[in-house]
Amino acid sequence: MTVESTAARKPRRSAGTKSTAGKRTTATTPGTEPELVQLLTPEGERVKNAEYDKYVAGVTPEDLRGLYRDMVLTRRFDAEATSLQRQGELGLWASLLGQEAAQIGSGRALRDDDYVFPTYREHGVAWCRGVDPTNLLGMFRGVNNGGWDPNGNNFHLYTIVIGSQTLHATGYAMGVAKDGADSAVIAYFGDGASSQGDVAESFTFSAVYNAPVVFFCQNNQWAISEPTEKQTRVPLYQRAQGYGFPGVRVDGNDVLACLAVTKWALERARSGEGPTLVEAFTYRMGAHTTSDDPTRYRGDEERLAWEAKDPILRLRRFLEASNHTDERFFEELETESEALGRRVREAVRAMPDPDHFAIFENVYADGHALVDEERAQFAAYQASFADEEGGN
Amino acid sequence: MAETVTSKNMALAKAINESLRRALESDPKVLIMGEDVGKLGGVFRVTDGLQKDFGESRVIDTPLAESGIVGTAIGLALRGYRPVVEIQFDGFVFPAYDQIVTQLAKMHARSLGKVKMPIVVRIPYGGGIGAVEHHSESPEALFAHVSGLKVVSPSNASDAYWMMQQAIQSDDPVIFFEPKRRYWDKGEVNTEAIPGPLHKAQVVREGTDLTLAAYGPMVKLCLEAAAAAAEEGKNLEVLDLRSVSPLDFDTIQTSVEKTRRLVVVHEAPVFFGSGAEIAARITERCFYHLEAPVLRVGGYHAPYPPARLEEEYLPGLDRVLDTVDRALAY
Tell whether A378 and A289 lie within a shared domain.
Answer: no
Point out the residues of B that are catalytic: 135
Residue from the list A147, A171, A366 with its beta carbon closest to the beta carbon of B74: A171
What are the CA-CA distances from residue A12 to residues A7, A36, A47, A282, A288 (Å)? 10, 9, 10, 19, 32
Tell whether A88 and A173 lie within a shared domain.
Answer: yes
Catalytic residue among A108, A156, A288, A314: A288
Domain that holds residue A49: 3-349
Nearest to A311 by CA among A124, A133, A185: A124
Cβ <8 Å between A205 and B199: no
Tell whether A187 and A226 lie within a shared domain.
Answer: yes
Alpha helices, H only, A17-163: 21-24, 61-86, 100-107, 123-129, 133-136, 138-141
pLDDT band at residue A390 under the 50/70/90 scheme: low
Q: What is the pLDDT of residues A90-101, one digit of tens each?
A: 999 999 999 999
Query: Residue B77's closest chain A neighbor by CA?
Result: A172
Give residue B4's pLDDT: 53
Q: Could you tell me the CATH number of the domain that includes residue A327?
A: 3.40.50.970
Task: Give the closest-approach CA distance of B265 to chain A in angstroms.
Answer: 21
| Beta strand B186-190 pairing with B7-11 | antiparallel
Cβ <8 Å between A151 and B112: no
Nearest to A77 by CA among A134, A120, A122: A134
Of A172, A213, A359, which to mutate for an interface test with B (greatest number of B Cβ within 10 Å)?
A: A172
Tell whether A259 and A378 lie within a shared domain.
Answer: no
Tell whether A345 and A361 lie within a shared domain.
Answer: no
The mean pLDDT of A299-320, rounded to a whole number, is 96
Give residue A388's pLDDT: 61
The mean pLDDT of A288-302, rounded to a whole number, is 95
Cβ <8 Å between B72 and A171: yes
Domain count, chain A: 2
Residue from the list B76, B78, B110 with its beta carbon closest to the beta carbon of A145: B110
Catalytic residue among A86, A111, A233, A297: A297
The mean pLDDT of A269-289, rounded to a whole number, is 97
In this predicted structure, the answer to whether residue B1 has a pLDDT above a threshold of 80 is: no
Residues of A in contact with B119 (CB under 8 A): none
Alpha helices, H only, B105-217: 107-110, 140-144, 157-169
- Sort A233 into a burial class: Cβ within 10 Å, 0-12 / 13-18 / 19+: exposed
Same fold, B2-190 and B202-329: yes
Q: How many CA atoms lie within 13 A of B134 on its CB side?
A: 8
Residue B136: beta bridge partners? none
In this predicted structure, the answer to whether residue A27 has a pLDDT above a threshold of 80 is: no
Task: Give the closest-approach CA distance of A260 to chain B in angstroms.
Answer: 27
Based on the residue annotation, tell me whether A68 is a catalytic residue of this protein. no
Tell whether A384 and A240 lie within a shared domain.
Answer: no
Nearest to B60 by CA among A288, A130, A205, A22: A205
In this predicted structure, the answer to whether residue B111 has a pLDDT above a threshold of 80 is: yes
CA–CA distance, A110 with A119 (Å, rounded to integer):
17
- Starting at the edge strand found earlier in the chain, the sheet holding B202-205 runs B202-205, B236-240, B210-214, B262-269, B295-299
Give residue A24's pLDDT: 35
pLDDT band at residue A33 under the 50/70/90 scheme: low
Please give, one letter per residue, the 3-state secondary structure of B242-266: CEEECCCHHHHHHHHHHHCCEEEEE
A209 φ, ψ to 5°?
-95, 5
Residue from the list A149, A157, A168 with its beta carbon closest to the beta carbon of B71: A168
Query: Residue A117's closest chain B neighbor by CA?
Result: B75
What does pTM read for this prediction?
A: 0.94
Query: Residue B68's closest chain A neighbor by CA?
Result: A201
Cβ <8 Å between A144 and B95: no
Question: H/E element holding A216?
Answer: strand A213-219
The mean pLDDT of A246-262, rounded to a whole number, is 98
Cβ <8 Å between A145 and B247: no
The percentage of residues in chain B with a pLDDT greater than 70, rounded to a whole number, is: 98
Give residue A122's pLDDT: 98
In this predicted structure, the answer to whether residue A26 has a pLDDT above a threshold of 90 is: no
Residue from the list B71, B110, B114 with its beta carbon closest to the beta carbon of A151: B114
Cβ <8 Å between A176 and B147: no
CATH says B2-190 is which class? alpha beta
Tell whether A204 and A318 lie within a shared domain.
Answer: yes
Question: B219 and chain A: CB distance < 8 Å anywhere?
Answer: no
| Beta strand A226-227 pairing with A222-223 | antiparallel
What ipTM did this prediction achieve? 0.96
Residues of B in contact with A170 (CB under 8 A): 68, 71-72, 75
pLDDT band at residue B6 under the 50/70/90 scheme: confident
Q: Spell out the residues 6+ positions from residue A30 whose beta carbon is closer than 8 angstroms to its own.
A: none
In this predicted structure, the answer to whether residue A1 has a pLDDT above a threshold of 80 is: no
Residues 29-58 (B) with a CB less than 8 A from some CB of A = 57
Question: B112 and chain A: CB distance < 8 Å anywhere?
Answer: yes
Could you tell me the residue ranges of all domains in chain B?
2-190, 202-329
Asked if the B202-329 domain carries CATH number 3.40.50.920, the reply is yes
Give residue A389's pLDDT: 57
Tell whether A330 and A374 lie within a shared domain.
Answer: no
Tell whether A247 and A362 lie within a shared domain.
Answer: no
CA–CA distance, B191 with A46 (Å, rounded to integer):
70
Nearest to B133 by CA among B299, B305, B300, B313: B305
Q: Spell out the residues 6+ positions from residue B206 whose beta carbon is closer than 8 angstroms to its own.
A: B237
Give residue A35's pLDDT: 83
